[in-house]
Amino acid sequence: MKSSKLRASLLSSSSLTRPSDWYAMLSPEQRVIADKIIEVGCACLLSEQGTGKTIITLAVLQKLMLKKVLIVTPLTSIEVTWSRRLRERWNVHLELEKEDGVNVLGYEFFRNNIKKILKIKWDMVIFDESQGLKDRGSKQSRAARRLRLLVKRRLILSGTPIDDSPIDIARKRVVSGTSVDLGGRRIIK
């Protein structure tokens, strides 16, 4: 009897149903980055794996409280990296939906459905593992550049080291439309 009351008490506890406060989980350095992304609206967050790009992104989404977000990511990251965490706070759609929430789509779906995607008014678009955007002639890079013209807030994420040249960073910055790096220097107009 006592164990069932304890279990019922634990299940009704608000700490079990309360969504994570991602912003509070950030280190001071990560908080500076999140605040800068919120301030400038468009950014490239290119850093090594395990440095907190996902948690920084979740904190940015939490602070901005946006209604329509598009996350484009490799298929392997849809559930493991994004959907599970996002469901704590938002309606998550794994197919293209016009209703409010976060749409988490794979790159192949993104590039094959760009006409439908362009018809939706997005508050923010996030490209995770964005190394596929460096080839400016690729279908997904062209689709990403088209979307850039319509979406005010854009975030490019990558944990992959530069494998060819610094031009790879410049191409990602073109997709994001970023004109200021996180240090405040003007890079492109």
> Per-residue pLDDT tens for 94-123?
988 888 999 999 989 998 999 999 999 999
* Percentage of the chain lying above the pLDDT 70 cut: 74
Per-residue pLDDT averaged across 42-57, rounded?
87
The per-residue pLDDT for 3 is 43
Judged against a pLDDT cut of 80, whether residue 87 lies above it is answered with yes
Burial of 142 (0-12, 13-18, 19+ CB in 10 A): middle
> Per-residue pLDDT tens for 140-177?
788 888 888 899 999 988 887 655 555 555 555 555 55
Q: pTM for this one?
A: 0.78
Answer whether 20's CB lies under 8 Å from 86's CB: no
Strand locations in the chain (E): 42-46, 68-73, 92-93, 101-106, 124-127, 153-158
